[in-house]
Amino acid sequence: MAPFERHVFVCQNSRPEGAPRPSCTKDGKSDLLPQLQMFAKAAGILATVRINKSGCLDQCEHGPTMVVYPEAVWYGHVQASDAEEIVREHLVGGRPVERLRLADECVNTKSCPHRGLPTGA
Prediction pTM value: 0.85
Please, are residues 50 and 7 in contact by the beta-carbon 8 Å criterion? yes
pLDDT band at residue 1 using 50, 70 and 90 as cut-offs: low
In this structure, whether the domain defined by 6-106 belongs to CATH 3.40.30.10 is answered with yes
Provide the pairing of β-strand 6-11 with 73-75.
unpaired
Averaged pLDDT of the chain: 87
Question: Which residues are bridge partners to 51 per DSSP?
Answer: 8
Across residues 50-77, what is the average pLDDT? 91
The domain locations on the chain are: 6-106
